[in-house]
Every structure is written in C-alpha cells, then in structure tokens.
C-alpha cells in the first residue's frame, strides 16, 4: 500500500529544495468524496495532498496546460514541474515526450503504482449505493471500503472498479524520477480489451445501431476532448475561430473558412466529431479512460479508442506510451509494415 | 385548485391528456432524461441529468432557410417551430424556478419568437422534493425551496399512496380539469398532511451559500481578485456546467451551407458557453476572457451579480448540476463562499 506521507514528503522536499517549481497532485474536493487536482507551490501545502481510489484524473493534462501557459507568457522556467502519475498517466507523459511536446528535464514524474487497486467508477458505485452518497473510499487489498451515512460498506473490486483498471496491463509507472509503491502487475480481473471483445461479438448492424443511439445523445460539450492530454492541438476542427488570425487575414478568408463539422449537435455531426477524434488518437490514446469518465451523458467512448488501440497492436505490434525513444505510430515506417500501398 | 390524485389514477390522467405530447423522466443508458412517456409516467427518479430547458430553448434551432441563385436576390424562408402542446411531468422545483428566469431573458428588450413559439406550448407539472435528490442541492440558499411552485403549472406532492395536486396557473387548472373525474377534493386533513410533508422537506439539510444577498456587491468588489485564477486552476473549459444548467442561455448563430450553386442552407442557433475558450474571441485574435479564471468569474458573476442587477433575482436556482457534473470538482457553492469570504 502506498503511504500517503511518502507522497507528501516527496512533494515537500522537492519544493523546499527548489528542485521543482510546483507539484501537480490530488487534494480532497468539496463535492462528494472525489479528489480534485491540486497545484501546490509552497512546501507547507504538501500536507493538502491525498491519495485514494478517487484520484481518477489523468494529471498529464495539466502538464500540457502548463506548457501552453509558459509559451503564452514567453516564460522559460529553469526548474521542472512535478506531477503525481499513475501507470496510465505516466504512459500519457511518455507519448507527450515522444511527440516532443516538452522535454524530459522539464517534468519531474512522481510515479505512484496502483498496485492493483486502480480507481473507482463513480457510476458503478452510485448504482450499488442506490444513489446514497459515500463520503470516503479506500482500498484494503481485496475490496473497496466506503463510508456512507448508513455505515461502512464493502464492495468487491470487480464491481466498482473503473473498466480500464480491470483491464489494466501496467499499473506501474515505468517512466518516473521517483516511484512509490510496488511494481505489481494488474489485477487481471479482466483480459485486455475485454469490453471491446464483448462488443465486437455483435453484428455490424447491431453495432451501428448502438453507436447511432449513443451519439444521438452527445451534447457536444467537448469535455471528452478537453480532458484528454493527447488532444492538445491549438487548432481543432470543431472550433469556430481558433484558426490563426493575423493582421493579414481578410474578412473574406474568415467568412469562407472551410467548416468540416457543424456546430449543431445532430447525430451526423456528432458522429463526424467522434470519428475525427478517434482517428487523431490512433497510436496515441493510452486508455486512461478520462474521456469516458467525464462524459455527462454516459457515452461509452472507451470502446472507440480501444478499437484503435487494438488495431495498432495487432497490425503493427505498437503500444502507445511504451518508450520515449521509440517512434510514434503514424510517423514511422518499417519494412515489414503489412500495408502494400506504402512500398 | 387543490385536489387529491390516487397514484394508480396517474396513468388515467395521462390518458385524459392524450391530445398533448407527454414527457417524463426515463432512465436510458444510465442517464435520466425527459422522454416521451407513452402510457406510463415514472416519478421515482432522483433528478434528470439535463433540465427541461431544451423544450423551450433547444440546443439547435433553425431560424430560416436561404437560397440564392447567383446575381438574384436571396430567398429567405422563416421556419417558426411548429410544436404540439406538451406536458412535462416530474419537473423539480429548482427547474420550475428556472422557467420565469428564461422567460425574462427571452422577452427583455425583444421577444424571441422561436423561444415563445415553443414555450407557449409547454406545461410544467412539478414534483416537490421530499429528499434532496443530490448531495449538491442548495435551492434554499438562493431563495427557492424543495416545495416551490414558482414557474410550474401544477405542483404534485407525494403523500404516500396519493398525490396532493395544486394548480398554480390557468394552464395547470385546465390540465387538472381535463381529468376532472379522477381527482378528489382535498380535505383539511389532506392539507395538514401536505404541510407536514412540506415542513419535513424544508428541514432536510442542504449545502449552503452564505449570505446570498450580499453576493452581488461582494462579487462586484472581487472582479480583479487573483482568487479567480486560483479557483479555476483545474477547469478544463468544457461546457458541462453550463450545458446542464437550467438557466444558462448563451448561443451562437451559424449558417449551415448545404449547396454552393445555387447557394443554399440554413441559419441555425446552437447553444454556446462562456466556458469555451473561444467564446469571446475577437476576429482580431484578441480574447478579453483569456484564461479560465476570467471565464469562471463570468459564469459565477452572471448567476449572482449581473442577472441580479438586471432582474433583481439570482439566476442560479441551486439545482447543483454544475457541481455534480464538473469533471474536475469545481464547485459553485464553495467558489462563491470563498470569493465572498475574501471580499470581507
Ligand atoms: S488504468 Fe492502470 S494505471 Fe491507470 S489508474 Fe487504472 S490501474 Fe492505475
Ligand atoms: S463528453 Fe460526452 S457529451 Fe460531451 S462532447 Fe464528449 S461525448 Fe459528447
Ligand atoms: S482518448 Fe480518452 S482514454 Fe485515450 S488518452 Fe484521451 S482521455 Fe485518455
Ligand atoms: S449554476 Fe449550477 S446550481 Fe445554479 S442553476 Fe445552474 S447548474 Fe444549477
Ligand atoms: S467548471 Fe468544470 S464543468 Fe465547467 S467548464 Fe470548467 S471543468 Fe468544465
């Protein structure tokens, strides 16, 4: 089990020695039991940090935000920024490093191993507690233990753990500056791609019906995009006016810009948005599951990204986030690539 | 008009309203949403993920279609929405209180014909809350209550085997008259039971905004506070908090072009949100609300200061959806409390 004090001590020492300029971690939130992202810059704030199965967020996102902020401010800070990273978060950082989003010495990775506990799925939990809120969650090695107004409740991990954690192959952050917790394999409660395999057993007509039904509901809040550390483009096809406007851009150019996807949240536009995003994540998505977690209308986005992930693995033996030095999927070529057209 | 309706007669009342479209909460794919009810109305729900706002202000509204042959004058065809009369069951009191607020927005200075074409066709049948449906409810802090009938046409209160049905508007009276024989007269004993149920509902603890009356002036004083940036540090700029809000009403207008020769298409209004980074982007590239702090300040100040200055009421009804839905835990209750505390 990870000792919370170790996380706090690490953060405090790093800040006190000036080795890092800030630490991105988790602290308790004011809404229910879920932890929230915390940004601390002073050693005495280290005691605010927490670590429990409600630390869902992939904090690699805030490294991207920090980079954008620094670029905008034309700052070039000497010290790196530290981040608390689970296995999947560390894989996301590796993809960002592979893509040269920032340099290795600009980030200090405080790795924390999930050691087989993973994080909770709030929707699964809500189903089990019949809508009554829990005030805290812990993992005791077998079960999750919740405190509710009705007393303590134990639930087996399989029933309330996030799907991606059930299928997780690497809960240990391989890339790190310092790491807390043991290097244990996943719980193997489910085989990799278990949910996708179940889904794909259906006929194409059933699957099409499934996606149509789900995407009909999308409200295009773009939370799935905003939360994804891999969705870092300055210009996104779905935005109205983020394309570069310079003094030379004419009114005509602004007005006649090609719009690939309309703003209307209709089924066809929604599907186009999600297909576009899935393609942009091929070989990059690390299955942190954040897009699916944040969706306010419960669209099973993970299935879509898992499909791309499995294609990359089966066709090219490619695993996103495996090594910083390795090539990225879409920017590399091998003689034994199966596609004939490329030769 | 105050009547009693036995629960097993609810579906008969629905049948008596068959010339109208009936909607009620339904659980689909893990999401509670207002859906065509068919024969059976479900009222055993916590609250819907989205409020019934979209019935009057849908996420997509077509204003007109256009067609232009090169060199000729464009042809415009206005498309006012043609909707049947609708009755939406299971509206929570916080969402009821959103209705007069939205009405104000869409009639101040100019009456919005699209909004009103839909709005006039909707009747709201509310259900008083016995328990706060979410741990993030705070309607009482913002002048509402779990048994408020503000904005509703009929308010139902669950009395166990029966509903106490109170008509609040003429529309509500007409709805109850349509099923007249199904209702029984309410007795003094029923009224006493109703009062007991309401008193119990009011006594259940909720989250609290401290001193909401002082918020407009405190927010005004806090415009330049560095606190905004700190509080919004984790915000990812998704629109969840606004897209789920019963009173958020910002929109964008675009032409959806479907053909070039002749030039053809539709002008549509879609929801937009102050939380999207490009919401206030100027064509020059300058953005006056440059960071998430400025955007959080806009959302919160609109709810508790600007709206109050314009219409003498808070725009937030305390439904708690923005708190529950925010993926990174930004919580409007603790935000206003912290800002107010800072303002002294
Ligand atoms: S997916 Fe793996 S690394 Fe990520 S939170 Fe779950 S168990 Fe931990
Ligand atoms: S988070 Fe959900 S509702 Fe929002 S854009 Fe993504 S899929 Fe659509
Ligand atoms: S697409 Fe979803 S699962 Fe993949 S990296 Fe982005 S947020 Fe994580
Ligand atoms: S601001 Fe939040 S709590 Fe207030 S009405 Fe809107 S969604 Fe509900
Ligand atoms: S406050 Fe929360 S819900 Fe609203 S835009 Fe920010 S992250 Fe999204």
pTM greater than 0.80 (yes/no): yes
pLDDT band at A244 (very low <50, low <70, confident <90, very high): low
CB B250 within 8 A of CB B274: yes
Cβ of A244 and B238 within 8 Å? no
Cβ of B239 and A222 within 8 Å? yes
- Token pair in block for residue A101: 């989003």
CA-nearest residue for atom 4, ligand 5, is B241
Tell me if A146 is assigned to some domain. no
Q: Give the span between the Cα atoms of A143 and A126, in whole angstroms.
A: 16
Tell me if A256 is assigned to some domain. yes
A33 contacts in B (CB within 8 Å)? none
Are A106 and A49 contained in the same domain?
A: yes
B167 to chain A, minimum CA–CA distance in Å? Answer: 31
Distance B332 CA to ligand 2 centre (A): 22
Are A295 and A222 contained in the same domain?
A: yes
**Mutate: best of B234, B254, B275, B294, partner A, most A CBs <10 A:** B234
Cβ of B49 and A31 within 8 Å? no
A190, A210, A237 - which closes a domain: A190
Are A70 and A8 contained in the same domain?
A: yes
Give the helix/strand (H/E) hosting B78.
strand B75-78
Atom of ligand 4 nearest to the CA of B245: 7
- Token pair in block for residue B115: 């909004």
What does chain B come to in residues?
Answer: 344
Are A239 and A95 contained in the same domain?
A: no
Tell me if B275 CB under 6 Å of ligand 5: yes
Tell me if B97 CB under 6 Å of ligand 4: no
Atom of ligand 2 nearest to the CA of A291: 1
Q: Give yes or no for A327 touching B (CB within 8 A).
A: no
Residue from B318, B337, B341, B330 nearest B136 by CA = B318
In sequence order, what DSSP letters do the residues of B185-220 get, joined into one string? E--HHHHHHHHHHHHHHHHS-----S-GGGHHHHHH
Are A173 and A234 contained in the same domain?
A: no
pLDDT band at A279 (very low <50, low <70, confident <90, very high): very high
pLDDT band at A163 (very low <50, low <70, confident <90, very high): very high
Tell me if A7 CB under 6 Å of ligand 1: no
Are A179 and A270 contained in the same domain?
A: no
Are A180 and A208 contained in the same domain?
A: no
Are A171 and A269 contained in the same domain?
A: no
Task: Quote the number of domains for chain A.
Answer: 2
Tell me if A58 is assigned to some domain. yes
Are A180 and A273 contained in the same domain?
A: no
Distance of CA A20 to the CA centre of its chain: 23
Are A86 and A202 contained in the same domain?
A: no
Tell me if A155 is assigned to some domain. no
Tell me if A170 is assigned to some domain. yes
pLDDT over 80 at A259, yes or no = no
Tell me if A127 is assigned to some domain. no
Q: Per-residue pLDDT for chain B (344 aa), expressed as one digit of tens each?
A: 999 999 999 999 999 998 999 999 999 998 999 999 976 788 988 899 999 999 999 999 999 999 988 889 989 999 999 999 999 999 999 999 999 999 999 999 999 999 999 999 999 999 999 999 988 999 999 999 999 999 999 999 999 999 999 999 999 999 999 999 999 999 999 999 999 999 999 999 999 999 999 999 999 999 999 999 999 999 999 999 999 999 999 999 988 988 877 889 999 999 999 999 889 988 777 889 989 999 999 999 999 999 999 999 999 999 999 999 999 999 999 999 999 999 87
What residue numbers bound the domain in which A208 lies? Answer: 191-333
Distance of CA B274 to the CA centre of its chain: 17
Residue in B244, B254, B284 nearest the CB of A245: B284
Q: Give the span between the Cα atoms of A13 and A46, in whole angstroms.
A: 9
Give how far Cα B159 sits from Cα of B190, B193, B194, Å. Answer: 9, 7, 7
What's the confidence (pLDDT) of residue A256? 65
Tell me if A148 is assigned to some domain. no
Tell me if A140 is assigned to some domain. no
User: Using omega within 30 degrees of 0 as the cis cutoff, is the peptide bond preceding B262 cis?
Assistant: yes
A174, A190, A206 - which closes a domain: A190
What's the confidence (pLDDT) of residue A331? 83
A190, A205, A230 - which closes a domain: A190
What's the confidence (pLDDT) of residue B258? 86
B39 to chain A, minimum CA–CA distance in Å? Answer: 22
A226 to chain B, minimum CA–CA distance in Å? Answer: 6
Are A106 and A232 contained in the same domain?
A: no
Are A80 and A195 contained in the same domain?
A: no
Tens digit of pLDDT for each residue in A12-60? Answer: 999 999 999 999 999 999 988 999 999 999 999 999 999 999 999 999 9
Tens digit of pLDDT for each residue in B53-112? Answer: 999 999 999 999 999 888 899 899 999 999 999 999 999 999 999 999 999 999 999 999
């Amino acid at each position: 089990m990870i000792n919370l004090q170790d996380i706090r001590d690490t953060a405090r020492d790093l800040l006190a020695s000036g080795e890092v300029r800030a630490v991105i971690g988790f602290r308790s939130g004011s809404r229910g039991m879920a932890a929230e992202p915390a940004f601390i810059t002073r050693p005495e704030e280290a005691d605010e940090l927490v670590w429990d199965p409600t630390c869902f967020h992939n904090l690699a996102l805030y490294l991207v935000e920090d980079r954008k902020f620094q670029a905008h401010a034309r700052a070039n800070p000497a010290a790196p920024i530290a981040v608390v990273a689970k296995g999947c978060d560390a894989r996301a950082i590796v993809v960002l490093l592979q893509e040269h989003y920032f340099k290795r010495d600009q980030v200090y990775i405080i790795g924390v191993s999930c050691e087989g506990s993973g994080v909770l799925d709030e929707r699964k939990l809500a189903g089990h507690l019949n809508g009554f809120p829990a005030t805290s969650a812990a993992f005791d090695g077998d079960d999750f233990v919740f405190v509710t107004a009705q007393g303590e409740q134990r639930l087996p991990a399989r029933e309330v753990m996030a799907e991606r954690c059930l299928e997780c192959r690497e809960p240990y952050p391989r890339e790190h500056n310092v790491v807390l917790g043991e290097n244990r394999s996943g719980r193997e409660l489910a085989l990799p791609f278990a949910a996708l395999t179940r889904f794909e057993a259906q006929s194409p007509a059933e699957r099409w019906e499934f996606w149509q039904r789900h995407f009909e509901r999308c409200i295009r809040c773009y939370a799935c995009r905003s939360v994804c550390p891999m969705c870092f483009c300055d210009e996104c096809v779905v935005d109205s006016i983020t394309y570069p406007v310079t003094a030379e851009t004419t009114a005509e150019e602004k007005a006649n810009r090609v719009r690939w996807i309309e703003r209307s949240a209709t089924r066809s536009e929604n599907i186009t948005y999600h297909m576009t995003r899935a393609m942009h994540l091929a070989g990059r998505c690390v299955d942190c599951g954040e897009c699916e977690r944040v969706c306010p209308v419960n669209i099973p986005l993970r299935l879509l990204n898992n499909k791309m992930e499995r294609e990359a693995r089966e066709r090219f033996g490619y695993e996103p986030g495996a090594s910083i030095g390795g090539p990225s999927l879409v920017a590399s070529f091998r003689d034994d690539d199966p596609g004939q057209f490329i030769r | 008009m105050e009547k009693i309706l036995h629960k097993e007669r609810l579906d008969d009342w629905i049948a008596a309203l068959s010339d109208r479209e009936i909607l009620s909460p339904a659980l689909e794919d893990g999401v509670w949403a207002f859906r065509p009810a068919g024969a059976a109305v479900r009222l055993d729900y916590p609250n819907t993920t989205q409020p019934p706002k979209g019935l009057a202000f849908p996420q997509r509204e077509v204003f007109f279609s256009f067609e232009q042959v090169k060199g000729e004058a464009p042809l415009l065809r206005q498309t006012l929405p043609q909707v049947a009369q609708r009755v939406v069951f299971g509206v929570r009191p916080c969402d009821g209180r959103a209705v007069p607020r939205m009405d104000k927005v869409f009639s101040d200075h100019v009456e919005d014909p699209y909004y009103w074409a839909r709005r006039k066709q909707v009747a709201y049948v509310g259900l008083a809350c016995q328990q706060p449906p979410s741990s993030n409810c705070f309607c009482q802090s913002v002048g509402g209550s779990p048994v408020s009938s503000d904005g509703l046409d009929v308010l139902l209160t669950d009395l166990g085997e029966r509903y106490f049905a109170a008509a609040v508007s003429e529309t509500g009276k007409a709805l109850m008259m349509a099923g007249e024989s199904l209702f029984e007269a309410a007795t003094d004993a029923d009224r006493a039971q109703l009062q007991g149920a309401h008193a119990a509902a009011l006594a259940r603890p909720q989250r609290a905004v401290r001193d909401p009356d002082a918020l407009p002036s405190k927010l005004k004083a806090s415009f330049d506070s560095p606190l905004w940036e700190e509080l919004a540090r984790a915000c990812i700029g998704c629109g969840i908090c606004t897209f789920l809000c019963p009173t958020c009403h910002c929109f964008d207008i675009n032409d959806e072009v479907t053909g070039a020769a002749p030039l053809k298409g539709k002008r549509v209004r879609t929801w937009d949100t102050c939380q999207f980074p490009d919401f206030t982007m100027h064509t020059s590239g300058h953005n006056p609300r440059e960071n998430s702090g400025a955007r959080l300040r806009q959302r919160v100040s609109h709810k508790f200061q600007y709206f109050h200055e314009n219409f003498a009421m808070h725009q937030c009804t305390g439904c708690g959806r923005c708190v529950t839905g925010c993926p990174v835990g930004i919580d409007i209750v603790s935000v206003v409390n912290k800002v107010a505390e800072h303002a002294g």
